[in-house]
Amino acid sequence: MAKSKQPASAAQRREQMRQERQQRIDTGKNKKRSRKRASRNNPWPLLITILVLVAVIIGVFFIIDRQQHSGSAQTDTGAANALKTITSLDPTLLANVGTGNASNLLHALPANATVPNGPNGKPMVLYEGADYCPYCAAQRWPLITALGRFGTFSQLEPLTSSEGNYITYTFHQSTYTSQYVDFVALETTDNQGNKLDTPTAEQAQLITTYNAPPYTSSAGSIPFLLFGNKQTSTGAFYSPQVLTGLSYTDVVNQLKDPNSDVAKGMLGAANDMTAAICQLTNNQPANVCTSGAIPTIQQSLPKASSGSSGDTLAALDMPYAVVGTRKYIA
């Protein structure tokens, strides 16, 4: 008769369960090691992952670059259209605005003032400013408009002033052609304070003489303008704050409305400057200097005195100017 099988003791059962658990653990470790070995032996998943990441990064940079170029292209197009507009404005619009709400900061030089002609032998309009200067940003708009009635600009690049973030154009490396006047522009520093244009000894002497009391309230302030031997001014003729948040297209649209602050400031100042230039050109061309509001504005310009110091200046003649600054990074 066969012996009956003895039931396993508790200790044996525990040992058997331990061995089974250990076997499962060892089996799992073996599978992991096998997968690792397989992964090491098969580089394709890693390469595919790297390629996907590289493609994603390139795609992101491509999108950013397109957005930047798109914004730059829009700015360039808007600036080009605005420049074309302000240098070919309807004379009727300019006449309707008159002096607008611009502050006429022109001051007559004494009758015996000696100012040489420009590099081409014509009466000189001398400008000094800086790219960073918010008041220069405002002043360039009407100055371009006024000079555009006597000649042609080229290579005027759009610019946003680092102080105030006002859109404008820089005169640095620009050119101007006219049969009536020579325009000499000096942008002393860029937006970072780096040195740009350096005046000649003759230009520096004119600036030292006429961008100082008694012709202005504070020496060396910008923007500075010298209209031959007739008029000088320091400061913007209107507040640059009218440009706050505007694009070049916005400026053009607002110029179409003679009652807008942009039109009354910019075009009013442009008419004042036009009248000052007409004093230098013996009222040529006639279609500019003897029509619209210009003859009336000319009559209101400060008159030269027989003394040596021009007309008397008030202490607050230049509310929109960078006062007494010639700082730049050498």
Percent of the chain with pLDDT over 90: 66
Contact 329, 196 (CB under 8 A): no
Look at residue 153 and tell me if it is in a domain.
yes
Domain carrying residue 142: 88-300
The average confidence (pLDDT) of the chain is 84
Distances in Å between the Cα of 14 and the Cα atoms of 9, 20, 21 are 9, 10, 11
Percent of the chain with pLDDT over 70: 73
Predicted confidence at residue 314, as pLDDT, reads: 41
Domain count, the chain: 1
Q: CA gyration radius for the chain?
A: 37
Question: Is there a cis peptide before residue 240, judged by omega within 30 degrees of 0?
Answer: no
Look at residue 37 and tell me if it is in a domain.
no
Look at residue 289 and tell me if it is in a domain.
yes
Question: Is there a cis peptide before residue 7, judged by omega within 30 degrees of 0?
Answer: no
Tens-digit pLDDT profile for residues 24-40 = 666 665 666 656 665 56
Record the pTM: 0.76
Say what angle helices 134-147 and 44-86 make with each other, to 10 degrees: 50
Look at residue 270 and tell me if it is in a domain.
yes
The residue-averaged pLDDT of 187-200 equals: 96
How far is it, in rounded angstroms, from Cα 182 to Cα 117?
A: 8
Look at residue 305 and tell me if it is in a domain.
no
Tens-digit pLDDT profile for residues 38-74 = 556 666 666 677 777 766 666 545 444 443 333 344 4
Tens-digit pLDDT profile for residues 268-289 = 999 999 999 999 999 999 999 9
Look at residue 26 and tell me if it is in a domain.
no
Tens-digit pLDDT profile for residues 210-229 = 999 988 888 999 999 999 99
Look at residue 44 and tell me if it is in a domain.
no
Neighbours of 8 (CB within 10 A): 11
Secondary structure (DSSP) of 193-258:
SBB-----HHHHHHHHHHSSTTTSSSTT-BSEEEETTTEEEES-SS-GGGGTT--HHHHHHHHT-T
Look at residue 267 and tell me if it is in a domain.
yes
Question: What sign does the dihedral 241-267-139-74 (CA atoms) show?
Answer: positive
